[in-house]
Amino acid sequence: MNIYNLTRDEMEEYFVDHGSKKFHADQLFSWLYEKRICSISEITNIKKEMLEQLSLDYSFSKLKLIQVERDVDVCKYLFELPDCEHIEAVLMKHDYGNSVCISSQVGCNMGCKFCESGRRKKVRNLEVFEMVTQLLMIEEDLKERVSHVVVMGIGEPFDNYDNLLKFFLIINHPKGLAIGARHITVSTCGIVPKILEFSSFPLQINLAISLHAPTDELRNKIMPINKAYPLKDLISALEVYLENTNRRLTFEYIMLSGINDTAECARKLAELVGHLNCYVNLIPYNETNNLEFKRSSTIQIMEFYDILKKNRLNVTIRREFGSKISAACGQLRSKKEEL
């Protein structure tokens, strides 16, 4: 077991179970996340006997950083896991702070046709420490604080639900990484039961939906998840989520040339989500040699944008990062593992 798997409450329970004091949980959290120790031997305010027990019960290891690709305001990190599998994370520098997009699984079983991550099937879920230490190691490389986190890298986060929630509790905790809940976003392709469950999660985490098509007919073709949870069910779940949380939704919409970027698609999208408290984030597609999809032209993206605006939707076009690196999600991992 890795020590970075534990929430603050789980640490407290551990110390109490071993006849020690509750406040040691705060002390240990501080050593891990504020002082950023590299070894348990650096801890000075917990009894030696307790530290020896900790070292027997837990590993304090992190991931192995094996490659970094850098471009203007963006870095892409390739990590090796303890079982020699690989995952990616991306740092993006904005005027409001440093945002990191992390992975939640090794591979992905959702099978979205346009996604490089989905081309390589799910191997396993990431443990909590494998998500947490992505952030720790990026901050170490950056020498700056990460202020925003997006769980939108390799994997479907809601397919690793329990570990995901523990990850949120750790990075949000004041003695953890102290990242505000409203600065954390999780993206799902539409696992309806987990959306409903997430609507009762106490932290005000932002929810983004990878939509990418405004009709069942089109979404079935490019996103197999829609066959299990069609748009009617998805929208109904999101209405429950909005009623329970009063949080604004984000709809992610990748612009695929000749597939989902027509004027008709824009009008149907406005009809589908116009009644919801939401905004639509249009995403220029990052092309990859392994998939046949092409990016919509800038003119087509702007025409799509204008139609949504005319239909009174809040809409943005995502700023593009990493034109000189392996920008598509999963692309760096694929390069490494297909050598």
What tokens appear for 133 in the block?
Answer: 């230490």
Backbone angles phi, psi at 68, to 5 degrees: -130, 130
d(CA 54, CA 215): 53
Closest CA to 185 of 250, 117, 126, 103: 250
Own/partner pairs, 19-26, CB within 8 angstroms, 24+ separation: 20/46, 20/47, 20/50, 24/50, 26/175
Whether 329 is a known active-site residue: answer yes
Rounded Cα gap, residues 94 and 98, in angstroms: 6
CA torsion 232-187-334-141 (nearest 10°) is 180
Catalytic residue among 12, 69, 75, 88: 88
What residues have CB less than 8 Å from 53, skipping those under 6 apart? 18
In this structure, the number of other CB atoms found within 10 A of the CB of residue 36 comes to 11
Q: Indicate if the alpha-carbon torsion angle 222, 223, 224, 230 is positive or negative.
A: negative
Residues with catalytic function? 88, 329
